Structure 1
Amino acid sequence: MATFNINLPFSHHLQNQSLINTKIKNSFRWRVTCAPSRTSTVSKQIENTIPIRHNLRKIKVPDSRSGMLDPIDPLLRSELIRYGEMAQSCYEAFDNDPYSKYCGSCKVPPKTFFQDLGMDSSGYEITSYIYSSNTSNLIPKFFIKSIKSDGPWNPMVNWMGYVAVSNDETTARLGRRDIVIAWRGTVTKLEWMEDLINFLKPVSAQNLASKDPNIKVMAGFLHIYTDKDQRCLYSKFSAREQLLAEVTRLTRKYGQKGEKMSITITGHSLGSALAILSAYDIAESDLNKVDKMQKTPISVMSFSGPRVGNIRFKKRVEELGIKVLRVFNIHDQVPNVPGVLLNEHTSALVQRIADWTTFFYSHIGEELGLDHTRSSFVKEKLDLASMHNLELLLHLLDGYHGKGKEFGLASGRDIALVNKDGDILKHEYLIPPNWLQVENKGLRKNPNGEWKLPEQKGIEDHLQPQQVELHLRKLGLA
């Protein structure tokens, strides 16, 4: 057994648990024990130290090869599920109804986002929404055409996620102000097309900060992150510009108050790729620097994510101190792409030779691979989409206790959630597939007795283009 020090990407959230003498206030390094790995990354000493007030316990984390936590710490499990639910909320809030004139927007206003989605106890408040556009002439019009093309919503603009911040009560419990960025995964035809643009492109080509012109990421992900359409109020600025401006505003706001902060980025599938890309961008742009001596820790909770960039991108993410934990179903094929043939598993010699190509990819961070066949609640045979389902992954997290250990739901998380948007549970549990429905498909009877889709209210509450532009000017991006 090998022992090494590691700064867990989620450790700043463990401060609310009083596991031992609460008088312990000094900083310490997590002592981690795991099985030896064939990879060199696991044997390295990761020297970052996170101050923890109340905890002093050994937490076992995965080695980079096996990807198993054995056993999994209950605090880690609850944190992963919580951030996974934040990523899941991006799917549930997205309006993908082609009959809606707001198709492509968020169905709920930011002020009541968590309440409307039944997440009242989240402990976070939305501060900004994130939108992305596609102005490429390479995408066939079939993929961007909407039923109501003359409606109030631009069919080439889509809501991609949000920025949220922990409220005062949650901040006091965590020991620091947590800024969360949640990205939505692939839903629209437009995004499926972007996912297929799988050649590598230098990040500097889209004006991202980069000290190495050979740092490259997948072109489709980069385009979603940086494209903008100034004809639309919601995409006057790119997703990147919206995000960087909001992170700048929040870090300055709470930094001036002398508060400790953390930046946690989460996403599923495409959202996972955008989470890693935006984490790199924030760190490389020095937006996580409170002052010359202190950096706000950045963590990425990746769920079922594909590979994002090349070896140089991976190394730079690690140099910047970004902590990435990837959770996935080992039967899911999405984490195996792009880079099916040329990836981190090829020999060092092949890596050196192939790194100059536009098709060599590498995963980043520690990994936790879960197996859906271990759950007695899940059907023996699942289709590819079901294996990739985020609710299934959260179910597997709740039941995982370590490699070879019996599957058992630790928190009693409702198994019905697994069938929320899929057909995954065994029929004997009598949970209908795809049961999450909007009552009357969103139609409501107006005072004239007519069934109509109601007007969206409050969607512009968070829009402050002048503030975005102000912060971008300070960053030299406008």
Structure 2
Amino acid sequence: MAVSKLNLPSPNHHHHGFLINPKIKINTLITSQAVTAAATTRRPIEHTSLRNKIQGSGTMLDPMDPILRSDLIRYGEMAQSCYEAFDKDPYSKYCGSCKVPPQTFFQDLGMGDSCCSGYEISSYIYSSNTSNLVPKFFTESVYKSDGPWNSMVNWMGYVAVSNDETTARLGRRDIAVVWRGTVTKLEWMEDLMDFLKPVSAQNLKSKDPNIKVMAGFLHVYTDKDQRCPYSKFSAREQLLAELTRLTKLYKQRGEKMSITLTGHSLGSALAILSAYDIAESDLDNLDNKQKIPISVMSFSGPRVGNIMFKKRVEELGIKVLRVFNVHDKVPNVPGVLVNERAPPLVRLVADLTPFFYSHIGEELGLDHTRSSFVKENLDIASLHNLELLLHLIDGYHGKKNKFSLASGRDVALVNKDGDILKHECLIPPKWSQVENKGLKKNQNGEWKLPEQKGIEDHLRHKDVELHLRKLGLA
């Protein structure tokens, strides 16, 4: 196929030029749709009215709503930023940390003009590998001396808040919780202990001891290691403390808020688990009995828990949209044989076992073979690639409509860390490279990996401990 025959985006396409919208049950999904509407209308959008509209609508929207498309790309790019920022170089003594400081996070990643730029990082999240139930995806440095980092700890994501300009357009302050997925081979699922464990076993609030999630996910979320300052508190404790601080701050200002969680792959599972924990811990409740709407944008995520976990998430009013490539295998695990698609009688019996899982929320399955840019036959890792999924979101206009890019999102991004695009696109595979593999000449003329500046600034132990005390967790 010649390049001219590829459906190349016009340089005049912008986010407000979206054409169409996916076939999903929008009445059961809360999205932060106002974010992109702001780019179009430039006036404040009431989140409450959008919430009521979405919940009250029983229609199937097809083609794709431009606001929903923009939301998905925005939060998907936030999830992608975790991969970009993660230091996975085993020759770095900071391996497992975040390469950039929170103050200039998106700018340092070259995303200063992206749709994420309306958000500011308020806190980083770290997780420790202290349990044999934790998947072996933690990257480790060859550096073994007593340095600033610990190989048992990994940076797992961040909390970001919409800035004043974006908040004014939204009509609310959006708090985004972004979880990193695994950066190693997809065999991490085999390393993960895939039996169900009660959330209460790790001291999460639970009204029913039968509410269970995969043990590996639970331990990534709750484990801590006192040997390293970055894991003095668990990922859960860090997150709940930060949300307590933020919700109190913006409640005192009288601002409306929303909480949106997102992640890819393993990060998707952590997003759903932490959304449940936030709601069950009552952090979404305001004094006037109003609730902060919680939604999850899940990308290529596996199943997380059992049917009781699914029911409780729904009872708590959490809205989940799962987006995935229909040829990707990760969203089918765990629970390949027995899951939510099984007959009712089978589900009833299977729910008594520690191996029956159920997906949560509405789903949007996309097919990479619909894109004229993408190779038809891809390997397992490519099928799971987040940049590919964002490309599919951009071009989706419904099951019966032709694939056509709506926003002008750069096709080259698909090959940034993969070999996915057809050769006719003339984009080399895995083109994103760090110059000289990160080595820089020091003042002595020696080639060295540079020191991370201000890595200690990533920690706020006093703040975390203070807010944990208020939650009764410290």
Q: With the length of structure 2 as denominator, give the TM-score of the two structures.
A: 0.89
> Larger relative contact order (C-alpha < 8 A, sep ≥ 6)?
2
1:146 aligns with 2:103: no
Native 8 Å contact 2:138 2:153 kept in 1: no
C-alpha separation in 2, matches of 1:20 and 1:139? 45
CA distance in 2, matches of 1:24, 1:147: 51
CA RMSD of aligned residues (A): 2.7
Structure 1 residues 1-34: Cα deviation after superposition (integer angstroms, max 9, x where no partner): 99994453333536526669999999477667xx
Structure 1: distance between partners of 2:58 and 2:171: 20
Query: More deviation in 208-217 or 186-195?
Result: 186-195
User: 1:3·1:31 contact (CA, 8 Å) conserved in 2?
Assistant: no
Q: 1:307·1:336 contact (CA, 8 Å) conserved in 2?
A: yes
Point out where structure 1 has 5 or more consecutive residues left out of the alignment. 33-45, 48-57, 62-68
Tell me: CA distance 1:74–1:365, structure 2 relative to 1, closer, same or farther (3 Å): same
Query: Given the superposition, is the C-alpha separation of residues 296 and 440 from structure 1 closer, same or farther in structure 2, using an over 3 Å criterion?
Result: same
Select between 371-380 and 187-196 the one with higher mean Cα deviation: 187-196
Correspondence list, 1:171-210, <5 A = 171-188=167-184, 192=188, 196-210=192-206
Report the counterpart of residue 128 of structure 1 in structure 2.
123
Equivalent residues of 1:144, 1:190 under 8 A apart: no
Residue by residue over 1:75-101, the C-alpha shift from the partner in whole angstroms, topping out at 9 and shown as x without a partner, is 111110011000000001000000111
Give CA-to-partner distance per residue, 1:285-341, whole Å, 9 cap, x none. 001112242110001000000000000000000000001000000000000000011
Task: Tell me, yes or no, if structure 1 residue 101 matches structure 2 residue 93.
Answer: yes
Q: Which residue of 2 aligns with 1:65?
A: none
Partner of 1:125, secondary structure, is strand
Matches within 5 A, 1:8-157: 8-13=30-35, 16=38, 27=49, 46=55, 61=60, 70-121=62-113, 122-136=117-131, 146-150=141-145, 151-157=147-153
1:60 Cα offset (Å) = 5.7
Deviation at 1:284, TM superposition (A): 0.2
Provide the residue aligned with 1:475 in structure 2. 471
Aligned partner of 2:388 in structure 1 is 392
State the distance in 2 between where 1:354 and 1:14 align: 42
Equivalent pairs, count: 448
Kept in 2, the 8 Å contact 1:143–1:189? The answer is: no
Q: CA deviation at 1:149?
A: 1.7
Distance, in Å, in 2 between the alignment partners of 1:388 and 1:361 is 20
Give the whole-Å Cα distance in 1 for the aligned partners of 2:215 and 2:141: 25
- Superposition map of 1:187-336 within 5 A: 187-188=183-184, 192=188, 196-336=192-332
Residue deviations 1:218-248 (CA, integer Å, cap 9, x gap): 0000010000001101000000000000000
The match for 1:50 is none
In structure 2, the residue corresponding to 1:120 is in which secondary structure?
coil
User: What is the rounded CA distance, in whole Å, between the counterparts of 2:88 and 2:239 in structure 1?
Assistant: 23
Instruction: Give per-residue Cα distances to partners, 1:23-77, cap 9 Å, x unaligned.
Output: 9999477667xxxxxxxxxxxxx56xxxxxxxxxx8965xxxxxxx621111111
**1:184/1:217 CA distance change after superposition, 3 Å:** same
Give the % identical residues. Answer: 77
Q: Give secondary structure in 2 for the equivalent of 1:460.
A: helix
- In structure 2, distance between residues paired with 1:4 and 1:141: 37
AA partner of residue 278 (structure 1): S
What do residues 239-270 of structure 1 show as CA deviations (whole Å, max 9, x unaligned)? 00000000000000001111000000010000
Partner of 1:377: 373
In structure 2, the residue matched to 1:419 is 415
Matched residues in 2 for 1:430 and 1:2: separation? 35
Q: What TM-score does the superposition give when structure 1 sets the normalisation length?
A: 0.88
Classify 1:415/1:232 alpha carbon distance in 2 versus 1 (closer, same or farther; 3 Å).
same
Separation in structure 2 between the aligned mates of residue 21 and residue 261 of structure 1, nearest angstrom: 17
Instruction: Give, as a single letter, the amino acid of the residue that structure 2 aligns with 1:314.
Output: K
Q: Which secondary structure state, in structure 2, belongs to the residue aligned with residue 287 of structure 1?
A: coil
Q: Taking structure 1 as reference, are residues 477 and 191 closer, same or farther at Cα in structure 2, changes over 3 Å only? A: farther
- How many Å separate the matches in 2 of 1:134 and 1:20? 45
Write the distance in 1 (CA, Å) between the matches of 2:420 and 2:24. Answer: 38
Q: Quick check: 1:6–1:30 contact (8 Å CA) kept in 2? A: no
